[in-house]
Amino acid sequence: MEANQTLDARGLNCPLPILRTKKSLNNLQSGETLKVVSTDPGSLKDMVSFCAQTGNALLSSQQTGGDFEFFIRKA
Amino acid sequence: MSVAKLQTVDSHADAIPSDLASLEDWFDKRLDEKLAERESARTPSLAIIATKGTMDMAYPPFILATTAAALGWDASIFFTFYGLELLKKDLQIKVSPLGNPAMPMKMPFGPEWLQRINMPIPNLVAGNFPGFESFATTMMEQTVKAKGVPSIQELRNICIESEVRLVACQMTVDLFNYSQDEFIPEIAEWIGATSYLVEAKNADICLFV
């Protein structure tokens, strides 16, 4: 999947992955996608809650090695 | 108002059932729809009262407020008593294991097995050894950095950026002989208990830290 922008949140811990995601989404247009890569295991559930609350679509969430990858489409 | 009269004033008269049982069902359904509509249009809010000025107690209000702002909620923090320290221009936030028995004392560096070992410090040492508080603070700051957790300064900046409403207690300034210019200019207001309670009354979540 190709994203309009990628956020490298590896090495960051709660609440930074979510805060940076929110900041990156601010720079995107509605309908554009953001890829987030994180290493914080808490971000797996946090990203689901974040998207549910903010109305952005969590297109996919997967674990590759020690990294978590999320694709989010801006509402 | 009678059912017959309701029908005449409503433009969707044909949608309104005339017998009482059906009318009740219709009403319940409409009420649920209306409530859901209101709920989805409402911005949730968080109000936190921060009363502590140590590093361990500074994290919860700042983490929760910045996260709430990221979720698109309205967030505010009322800083009172020692909590006011968190709004100083020159942040001097410390943490002490003295009288803080649950605080783990762990090495922020070194091999993994060493970092796992907890080395509780007796109060006698923590309280009497000069500079122990600064030592414990440095250790905690290094741990925080190594784990990718933001610093208090960083979280406070994010609060300001994301428009978390920072309000400060006027009484505390007078009580401890502070001057308002010792504090960051981003403080939205200097208020008292009455003003903040009225504000917090309407919040969905209200926390005292």
pLDDT digits (tens, 9 = 90+) for A60-69: 999 988 899 9
Contact B158 A19 (CB under 8 A): yes
Digits of tens for pLDDT over chain B (209 positions)?
A: 455 555 545 555 567 788 899 999 999 999 999 999 998 889 999 999 999 999 889 999 999 999 999 999 999 999 999 999 999 998 888 887 777 777 877 777 788 888 888 877 777 777 777 888 888 888 888 888 888 888 899 999 999 998 999 999 999 988 998 998 999 999 999 999 989 999 999 999 999 99
Domain match, B62 and B122 both:
yes
Domain match, B11 and B77 both:
no
Which residues of chain B does A50 touch, with a Cβ-Cβ cutoff of 8 Å? 70-71
**Domain residue extents for chain A:** 5-73
Domain holding B69, by residue range, is: 45-208
First-to-last C-alpha distance (Å) of chain A: 18
Distance CA A45, CA B203 (A): 25
Distance CA B140, CA B116 (A): 14
Domain at A5-73, CATH homologous superfamily: TusA-like domain (3.30.110.40)
Domain match, B61 and B145 both:
yes
Instruction: ipTM value, please give it.
Output: 0.79
Which residues of chain B does A53 touch, with a Cβ-Cβ cutoff of 8 Å? 71-72
Q: Chain A, 12-51: which have a CB under 8 Å from a chain B CB?
A: 12-16, 18-19, 21-22, 39-40, 50
Domain match, B197 and B101 both:
yes
pLDDT per residue as tens digits for the range A24-71: 999 999 999 999 999 998 899 999 999 999 999 999 999 988 899 999
B150 to A17, A19, B146, B158, B205: CA distances (angstroms): 11, 11, 10, 10, 24
Contact B67 A11 (CB under 8 A): no
Domain match, B82 and B29 both:
no
Distance from CA of A1 to the nearest CA of B (A): 25
Number of domains, chain B: 2
Q: Which residue of the set A14, A19, A48, A52 is catalytic?
A: A14
Domain match, B29 and B75 both:
no
Distance CA B113, CA B108 (A): 12
pTM: 0.80
Among B85, B16, B19, B21, smallest CA distance to B51 is for B85
Per DSSP, what are the bridge partners of residue A71?
A35, A60
A14 in active site: yes
Domain match, B78 and B137 both:
yes
Q: What is the pLDDT of residue B152?
A: 92
Q: What is the pLDDT of residue A23?
A: 92
